Every structure is written in C-alpha cells, then in structure tokens.
C-alpha cells in the first residue's frame, strides 16, 4: 500500500516535463491542528512544521507541486513538583508527495484549489527519565514507526508571485501503542486516523 502512494509523484513527472515554464521553488511554514485520534494522542497540542515545494505551472490555471514535509507535535512533558521523575511524548511526521493545483482565474494568482497524495512516515516516542544530581538519565524509552498513504485537500490564495496562504485537510493514518499504559510489555498496536487541519504561509521564488 505504501508504494502506491508514490504513484502520483511518478505520474506527475511527465506532466512536469511538458510544463510551459521552468519550475519555481518555495517553502511553507505551517501550523497543524489535530483532529480525531490524533487530537487525543497529542493532548490537543497544536503542531508545527515546514515544507520544501517545487511547482510547475502547466498553463490554463493548472499546476503540479511535489513537496517534502516535516511536521512535529510536542505532545507533552510531565514533571511532578518535588519529584525526580519526568516523562515526555513526541510525534513527528515526514512526508513526500505531490499536489495538483487549479487557479480559478487561469493563472497562478488569486484563489486556487488543491488536492494531493503521498507517503508519510510517523515516529512516536515515549520517554521516562529520573534525575540524578543536576541531570536526567533515561529510565524507559520506546519508539513506534509507521509508513502510510497520505491524502490532502484544501484551498489557498496566492497574493503575489511570492506570498500565499493555504488551508488543507490532511489524512495520514498511523499506528500507536496504548498511551494510557505506554510501558506495558504486552501492548498491542492501535490504528489511528492521523487527521489534522493545516494552515500554511507559502513563499515562492
């Protein structure tokens, strides 16, 4: 299944070769609002990230945009007062995919719609530490990795050739262990929806 996620990127390459203009490069900086299972697993924490973008304009308002994404959620860090114990949980996602964009006015400016697909690797870590003197030493460390198909859809507004604003809904499932009992040696994997809303500022050059 994860290899099927690369299909949109492969299919996009011939279209890029036919593009009437050279590609433009860009970056986006985003905030991620978790939904559903992801909201529970992140303790409702807002995540953040950045993306590297390459866009080919195909003419007539059509464009394709391969992208490399990194999104991070600092889930929680808990250290009781008057205690030498500390625990932390973090969730990160690295993705590679391609978006299709359609500009309503026929050129890369103003309102546009976008949809995309790709592959995402999720990394969930859970760590406990005990304080020894002035430093903490790890007493338990667990990691769970998942690679899955990701889908996205949204809309944006290209204000100038350089600056834009985009909102997307992203679906990217992952597997996790039971965070209510993370140190259990008999834990089983649970499927999570991996849904979040993303608000991104984009910059092209």
Helix, strand or coil, per DSSP, at residue 63: strand
Q: What pLDDT score was predicted for residue 25?
A: 97
- pTM comes to 0.81
Contacts by residues 150-153 (CB-CB < 8 Å, ≥ 24 positions apart):
150/5, 150/95, 150/97, 150/117, 150/118, 150/119, 150/120, 150/194, 151/115, 151/116, 151/117, 152/97, 152/99, 152/114, 152/115, 152/116, 152/117, 152/198, 153/113, 153/114, 153/115, 153/116
**What is the average pLDDT across 104-113?**
96
Q: What pLDDT score was predicted for residue 2?
A: 46
Q: Do 71 and 32 touch, CB atoms closer than 8 A?
A: yes
Provide the percentage of residues in the chain whose pLDDT is more than 90. 58
Least confident of 111-120, 151-160, 173-182, 196-205: 173-182
Q: How confident is the model at residue 178 (pLDDT cuts 50, 70, 90)?
A: low
DSSP state of 18: T
What is the tens place of the pLDDT at every residue in 128-168? 788 777 777 776 677 889 999 999 999 999 999 999 999 99
Least confident of 111-125, 149-163, 166-180: 166-180
Mean pLDDT of the chain: 85
* Whole-Å CA distances, 1 to 7, 42, 120: 11, 26, 12
Q: What pLDDT score was predicted for residue 183?
A: 60
């Amino acid at each position: 299944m994860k290899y099927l996620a690369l299909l949109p990127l492969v299919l996009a390459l011939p279209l890029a070769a036919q593009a009437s203009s050279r590609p433009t490069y860009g970056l986006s900086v985003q905030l991620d609002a978790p939904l559903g299972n992801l909201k529970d697993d992140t303790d409702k924490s807002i995540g953040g990230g950045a993306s590297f973008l390459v866009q080919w304009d195909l003419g007539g308002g059509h464009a394709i945009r391969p992208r490399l994404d990194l999104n991070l959620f600092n889930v929680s860090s808990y250290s009781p007062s008057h205690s030498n114990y500390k625990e932390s949980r973090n969730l990160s996602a690295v993705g590679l995919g391609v978006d299709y964009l359609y500009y309503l006015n026929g050129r890369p400016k103003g309102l546009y719609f976008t949809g995309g697909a790709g592959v995402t690797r999720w990394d969930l870590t859970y760590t406990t530490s005990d304080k020894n003197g002035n430093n903490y030493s790890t007493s338990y460390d667990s990691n769970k990795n998942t690679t899955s198909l990701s889908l996205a859809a949204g809309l944006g507004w290209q204000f100038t050739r350089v600056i834009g604003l985009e909102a997307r809904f992203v679906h990217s499932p992952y597997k996790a262990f039971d965070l209510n009992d993370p140190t259990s040696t008999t834990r089983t994997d649970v499927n999570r929806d991996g849904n979040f809303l993303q608000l991104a500022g984009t910059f092209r050059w």
